[in-house]
Chain A
Amino acid sequence: MMVRLVLLLLLAVPAAATLRVDITSGIEAPMPLAVPAFPTPAAMQTPAGNTADLGRQVAAIVSGNLVGSGLFRAIDPAAFPAPTVAQVIAPPFLGYRTAAAQALVTGSVTANADGSLTVGCHLHDVFSEEELARQAFTVTPAGWRRAAHKCSDLVYSRLTGETGMFDSRIVYVAESGARTKRVKRLAIMDQDGANHRFLTSGQSLVLMPRFSPVNETITYMSFAGDRPRVWLYNIGTGRQEPVGNFDTMSFAARFSPDGRTLLFSVTRAGNADIFTYDIGARRTMRLTSSNAIDTSPSFSPDGRRIVFESDRGGTQQLYVMNADGTGAQRISFGEGRAASPVWSPRGDLIAFTRIQSGKFRMAVMRPDGSGERLLTDSWQDEGPSWSPNGRVILFSRTERNGRSSLRSIDLTGRNDRRIPTPLEASDPAWGPLLP
């Protein structure tokens, strides 16, 4: 056997005549791409505006989304002429190559007889001159921005191999008024800050909103009626209901990956324990019963494990346990404390707040506690929330002057950017990709 193996290896020598070169490094720069204005076959007035104007705006949104991800950079549209309708499917590639674009997004906006709009979206590889992806999205005029987000997701997923994240929304706590008499309202907006609206009036203090990963429901904590507890809120119907029936405070709620169960903490005699709540059956079950504060529970994407924070070991640290509450093991070590863990929807990482040397910073680690990386270095960054594709982390940043805003950062630690909000903002939660 060994002899045959050696013989085979010898034989391989003359056969392997082709030179093979290892390319073990590349550049980590954003990919240049061009998103010229989407032409319209016939400029028509619609409730959302003229289709020619919409074509320009859709292209600008697609470009803004992709550039905002930090993985792409847009070639100045002035560097090339806007394509005609015929060029949407057969673009003049040479011009884009000259402009150093590697990918090209073309599309069109058409007003249909039934009042809807159809936005075509085509992705081309400038160098191989291949069409990599195409889709057409039919939307109502009121929802025209969603077509741009869908197109962005198509391009993003095709070029990166990851799922998209742009056709999604963010819920957060909008803050206004004096520090001593703060008004906190739930607000919702598209992930790019558009279509902003308030969900609650501000009469009661609200905290920690979280999106259901599967439907139009959020959970949050409200002090309504001076009973601080977890609520469910159906965004579509506006219906709200309290969760469970506890005499004490319930807080830090989060949905299971299938949206059927809530995890949250309930206080009792200076402690806090983690409970599950079956939303359909309205049944609660206790998972932890230590003499410590167990809170911020978050399911793994397969629903089998839960990461949470606890001070059972003396300081605030992260633990992972089975979904039934058994087998808790500490995963965070090292200097300082660790708080507010969130399991990535991709499953490979846990994002959390690392507290050390008086600073609160965004960090990630693998579910076994290895590979910890600090992503931000500001004064007070808190409350991570994953993008639906597990690529970007949304969080709130408080400056030393007390002002708070929403930020996002790529899991590589690059592209720390502000998410625009009309008021000060905290406690963001990124919702799922919309259907």
Chain B
Amino acid sequence: MSERGAIAVAAGAHLLLLGVLSLGVARTMPPLEPAIDSTPIEFVEVGDLPTVTEMPQPSMQAAPRDPGPPLAAELEPELLGEADALESSEAVVQDTAVQDAIADEVVALPPPKKSRGVKRDSFDAGAMASLIDRSIPDAPVKPRDTSAFAKSIETALPKGAQVGPRAIATLEQAIRAQIAPCWNPPIGGADVQGMTAVLRIRLNRDGTVSATPEFVSQTGATQGNAAYARAFVETARRAVLRCAPLALPADMFGYWREFELNFDPRLMT
């Protein structure tokens, strides 16, 4: 090793030693400071107040109890029943408002054949996204357009398997029935009005989540309410993780392997 090299090594070693020593002097870190975690902990000096210490007075009353998520067993019979009767019976489906809305939209939409002929290469996702985003505040409570989804299913499914809008609506209902009781949105926040969040959910065949729910988009978030917006998204994510595994019809796995949830508490007080 050359002399220059040796000096460089020695200088480096000294700097390292100095760094290590000054770290030790700078602050007596609490022993819990993690070796495995690199997030720095923020230290806050809390000053004394001119007060007289008294014994603490226990006071806090427990608030109303959380009923907890419904048991999977409660959901399953209804769900399976609907899955069996997907195409055959209209009586099984209870929430006809959803179907009515979808039926209306099917009528309103242009025939699917026209769209098939268009090359996907020319699709402008950015322009489309901006259109979709703007459309959200106008139709807050209305169910999403599932007819487009139904069309895509026709191509995705094995030949002969027929799944119509009603089956999709039933699937939607099954998902909604299982997620909603697990969602604890932050109520009473100043910005709760108009805030929504969309997460992409990926599930395994057994209904467990195969990946952490992915954030897709959010409305109602501003610079001023970033902390609230973050907490809002986390309640949505927690709802999914908490209620998984979902019990959904196995023969429709192709549809619920990956889907999106739009969390919108507008119907709540």
Which residues on A are within 8 Å of B, measured CB to CB? 7-32, 41, 57, 61, 64-65, 67-68, 70-74, 85, 88-90, 100, 102, 108, 110, 112-113, 118, 120, 125, 127-128, 131-132, 134-140, 142-143, 145-147, 150, 157-162, 169, 188, 190, 192-197, 216, 235-236, 346-348, 390-391, 410-412, 414-415, 417-420, 434-435
Give the CA-CA distance A134 to B33 in the complex, in Å: 11
Chain B residues near A145 (CB-CB < 8 A): 56
Taking CB atoms and an 8 Å cut-off, the chain B residues in 240-269 that contact chain A are 241-242, 255-256, 258-269
- Chain A nearest CB, measured from B108 CB (Å): 11
C-beta contact mask, B212-251 vs A, less than 8 Å → 1, else 0? 1000000000000101111110111111011000000000
By a CB distance below 8 angstroms, the chain A residues around B48 are 140, 142-143
Q: Can you show 28 pairs from A to B with CB atoms below 8 A apart?
A: A13-B112, A14-B118, A19-B149, A19-B255, A20-B261, A22-B141, A22-B143, A22-B144, A22-B176, A23-B262, A27-B66, A41-B31, A89-B32, A90-B34, A128-B238, A134-B39, A135-B42, A136-B41, A136-B42, A137-B46, A138-B45, A143-B48, A146-B46, A410-B188, A412-B188, A412-B269, A414-B63, A417-B60
Interface size on B, residues (CB 8 A): 111
Q: Find chain B residues with CB under 8 A from A414 CB.
A: 63-64
Contact of B231 among A127, A143, A160 (CB under 8 A): A160
Contact A23 to B179, CB < 8 A, known contacts A128-B241, A161-B227, A194-B57: yes
A135 and B44 contact, Cβ closer than 8 Å, known pairs A11-B123, A70-B63, A161-B228: yes
The answer on a CB contact under 8 Å between A15 and B125 is: yes
Select which of A10, A17, A67, A192 is within 8 A of B57 by beta carbon: A192
* Cα separation A125 to B184 with both chains bound (whole Å): 14
In the bound complex, residues from chain A placing their C-beta under 8 Å from that of B146 are 19-20
B37 at the interface (CB under 8 A from A): yes
Q: Report yes or no: A143 in contact with B49, Cβ–Cβ below 8 A.
A: yes
Would you give the shortest CB distance from A130 to chain B, in whole angstroms?
A: 9
Instruction: Give chain A residues whose Cβ lies under 8 Å from the Cβ of B77.
Output: none
Q: Is B28 close to A, CB under 8 A?
A: yes
In the bound complex, do residue B44 and residue A138 qualify as a contact, i.e. CB atoms below 8 Å apart? Answer: yes
CB contact under 8 A between A10 and B115, given known A89-B32, A136-B43, A420-B59: yes
Interface residue stretch chosen among B1-9, B11-19, B83-91, B167-175: B167-175
In the complex, whether B124 has a CB less than 8 A from a CB of chain A is yes
B22 at the binding interface (Cβ < 8 Å): no
When distances are taken between beta carbons in the complex, the residues of chain A under 8 Å from B183 are: 23, 25-27
- Complex Cα–Cα for A270 and B62 (A): 48
Asked if B186 and A29 sit within 8 Å, CB to CB, the answer is: no
Which residues of chain A are within 8 angstroms of B144 by Cβ–Cβ distance? 20-22
A79 to B116, CA, bound (A): 58
Shortest Cβ gap from A346 to chain B (Å)? 5
Chain B nearest Cβ from A347, distance in angstroms = 8
Inter-chain contact A195/B54, CB cutoff 8 Å: yes
Which A residues touch B62, using CB under 8 A?
67, 73-74
Question: B267 contacts which chain A residues (CB < 8 A)?
Answer: 24-25
Task: Given the known inter-chain contacts A110-B31, A197-B51, please indicate yes or no for A73 contacting B43, CB distance below 8 A.
Answer: no
B198 within 8 A of A: yes
Residues of A within 8 A of B232 (CB): 161
Q: Is the CB of B32 within 8 A of A21?
A: no
**For window 52-71 of chain B, which residues contact chain A by CB distance below 8 Å?**
52-68
Contact A411 B52 (CB under 8 A): no
Q: How far is the CA of A391 from the CA of B228 in the complex (A)?
A: 13
* Interface assignment of B158: CB less than 8 Å from any CB of chain A: no
Contacts A19-B255, A138-B43 given: A419-B123 contact, CB under 8 Å?
Answer: no
B148 is an interface residue with CB less than 8 A from chain A: yes
In the A-B complex, the 8 residue pairs with the smallest Cβ-Cβ separation, listed nearest first, are A161-B228, A26-B183, A161-B231, A17-B152, A127-B241, A68-B60, A29-B66, A19-B259
B53 close to A195 (CB less than 8 A): yes
Residues of B within 8 A of A131 (CB): 37, 39
Q: Is the pair A21, B63 in contact by a Cβ cutoff of 8 Å?
A: no
Report how far A64 CA is from B56 CA in the complex, Å: 11
Q: B residues 138-186 with Cβ under 8 Å of A? A: 141, 143-146, 148-149, 151-152, 156, 168, 171-172, 175-176, 179-186
Minimum CB–CB distance for B153 against chain A, Å? 8
Given that A390-B190, A412-B269 are contacting pairs, would A26 and B37 also be in contact in the complex, using a CB cutoff of 8 Å? no
Across the two chains, which residue of chain B brings its CB closest to A237? B50
Task: Specify the chain A residue showing the minimal Cβ separation from B37.
Answer: A89
- Interface check B30, CB cutoff 8 A: yes
Known: A12-B148, A21-B176, A27-B184. A102 touches B242 (CB 8 A): yes
Report yes or no: A25 in contact with B188, Cβ–Cβ below 8 A: no
Complex: how many Å from CA A67 to CA B60? 7
**Shortest CB–CB separation between residue A428 and chain B, in angstroms?**
14
A10→B118 contact, CB < 8 A: yes
Least CB separation from A418: chain B residue = B59
Q: How far is the CA of A65 from the CA of B183 in the complex (A)?
A: 23
- The answer to whether B266 touches A138 (Cβ under 8 A) is no
Residues in B with CB closer than 8 Å to A188 are: 51
B20 contact set on A, CB distance < 8 A: none
Interface residues of B in 189-218 (CB under 8 A from A): 189-190, 198, 200, 212
| Chain B positions within 8 Å of A434 at CB level | 49
Query: B247 to nearest A CB, angstroms?
Result: 15
Q: Is the CB of A135 within 8 A of B179?
A: no
Residue of A nearest to B259 (CB): A19
Q: Which chain B residues border A435 with CB–CB below 8 Å?
A: 47
Known: A20-B261, A21-B172, A136-B42. A88 touches B32 (CB 8 A): yes
Which of B116, B132, B260 has the most chain A CB atoms closer than 10 A to its own CB? Answer: B260
Asked whether A138 and B46 contact (CB < 8 A) given A27-B181, A89-B32, the answer is: yes
Chain B residue, CB-CB nearest to A140:
B48
Measured between alpha carbons, how far is A391 from B115 in the docked complex, in Å? 51
Which of B168, B182, B237, B241 has most chain A Cβ within 10 Å?
A: B241
- Determine whether the beta carbon of B148 is less than 8 Å from that of A17: yes
User: Which of A15, A16, A192, A411 has the most C-beta atoms of chain B within 10 angstroms of its own C-beta?
Assistant: A16
Interface assignment of B24: CB less than 8 Å from any CB of chain A: no
Inter-chain contact B63/A415, CB cutoff 8 Å: yes
A72 surroundings in chain B (CB, below 8 A): 63
